[in-house]
Amino acid sequence: MPTSKSPLQLMPFEQMRFTPRFEYGEMAELVEICGSENGSEMAAGWCRFRKARIPWTIHYDEVLTVFEGSLNLHANGEIYNLEVKDSIWLPTGTELIYEAESALVYYAAHPANW
């Protein structure tokens, strides 16, 4: 049965409200643009990292792009340093640590309902 999707919606950045993600409080605050709640198969949004060191396992395919600051990803025995305009693709099952003093990151993930 097809899922109905919410209508197109503009989300001005200045009006977005970031909220803490999981148990990490202000280390990772997110705002979702679309996801399963909208009937979308993909999720997308913004994440703000502050004084963050967060272990995580990716349960979806994800692309990250840094818009402000820098983000270090510890994965596969290496450290990937992402600066402004850098992107990285993270396949399902990737075990990593997000690390940032301060970074604003855009993400897109599939599937949204992991």
CATH numbers and ranges of domains, the chain: 28-110 (2.60.120.10)
Over residues 9-30, the pLDDT tens digits come to: 899 999 999 999 878 888 999 9
Buried b (16+ CB within 10 A) or exposed e, 41-80: ebbbbbbbbeebebebebebbbebbbeebbbbbebeeeee
**Would residue 65 be called left, alpha or beta, if left means φ above 0 and alpha means ψ between -120 and 50 degrees?**
beta
What confidence tier does 3 reach under pLDDT thresholds 50, 70, 90?
Answer: low
Compute CA 6 distance to the chain's CA centroid, rounded to the nearest angstrom.
Answer: 21
- pLDDT higher than threshold 50 for residue 37: yes
Task: Give the mean pLDDT of the chain.
Answer: 94
Is the pLDDT at 54 greater than 60, yes or no? yes
**pLDDT over 70 at 51, yes or no:** yes
Q: What pTM was estimated for this model as a whole? A: 0.91
